[in-house]
Amino acid sequence: MKSIPLRQCPSCGEQSESQFEACWNCGGALPVKSVSGFRVKPAVETKVQSAEALPILQIPASKSVLFVWVWITVIIAALAVVFGNVHIVTGEPFRSLQLVQRVSFGYSDIYVDADALSALPPYLGFAQSPMAYLALYRDGLLGPEHYVKPPSAAVNLD
């Protein structure tokens, strides 16, 4: 193993490797090297601070970053409200996607295939996705042959 020449710091007396220009202990400048009788000064005289003396890096919140986060939050909240209040309906009678207002707020049955619902017998279609079935019937997208009387909320136990 090759030994590395050391230099002694004039400030604190610690030994540092000759390749460095500042002392590892106190940060003071190490004595200059001499090459074939000429004195060579370090390119930059540095004073390295100890780790305790370095300030903690504090990055202030940028207004533009905050602005972007606020807009992302607003867009996500708006999408949550929109998709909680509509069904996206596809199927034969529509040339493109159709938005149908939900009977009640929720995230079930966001995408509804009107062809698949109308192909089922009424009670089975209602059992598969009741809120979408009622919304499509309410808006006239399912014909009268698909009428299903919704179960009443009040249950008589007598």
Domain annotation covers residue 12: yes
Residue 79 tokens read as: 């999408």
Quote the pLDDT of residue 152: 59
Domain annotation covers residue 99: yes
Where does the pLDDT of residue 156 fall: very low under 50, low under 70, confident under 90, or very high at 90 and above? very low
Question: Cα separation of 66 and 22, whole Å?
Answer: 42
pTM of the model: 0.46
In this structure, the answer to whether residues 18 and 73 fall within a common structural domain is: no
DSSP-based three-state secondary structure for 128 = helix
Domain annotation covers residue 87: yes
Percent of the chain with pLDDT over 70: 71
Residue 103 domain boundaries: 63-146
pLDDT in tens, 35-79: 554 555 555 555 555 555 555 655 556 677 888 888 999 999 999
Number of domains in the chain: 2
Strand partners, 111: 88
CA angle 55, 21, 1 (to 5 degrees): 115
Quote the pLDDT of residue 77: 94
In this structure, the answer to whether residues 96 and 41 fall within a common structural domain is: no
In this structure, the answer to whether residues 99 and 123 fall within a common structural domain is: yes
Quote the pLDDT of residue 91: 79
Number of DSSP helices (H) and strands (E) in the chain, helices first: 4, 7
Where does the pLDDT of residue 18 fall: very low under 50, low under 70, confident under 90, or very high at 90 and above? confident
Q: Are 83 and 105 in contact (CB under 8 A)?
A: no
Question: Which candidate, 151, 120, 152, places its Cα nearest to that of 136?
Answer: 120
Where does the pLDDT of residue 99 fall: very low under 50, low under 70, confident under 90, or very high at 90 and above? confident
- The pLDDT mean for the chain works out to 76
Residues 131-146 as b/e (b if ≥16 CB within 10 A, e otherwise) read bbbbbbbeeebbeeeb
In this structure, the answer to whether residues 137 and 75 fall within a common structural domain is: yes
Task: Considering only residues 153 and 11, tell me which one the structure prediction assigns the higher pLDDT.
Answer: 11
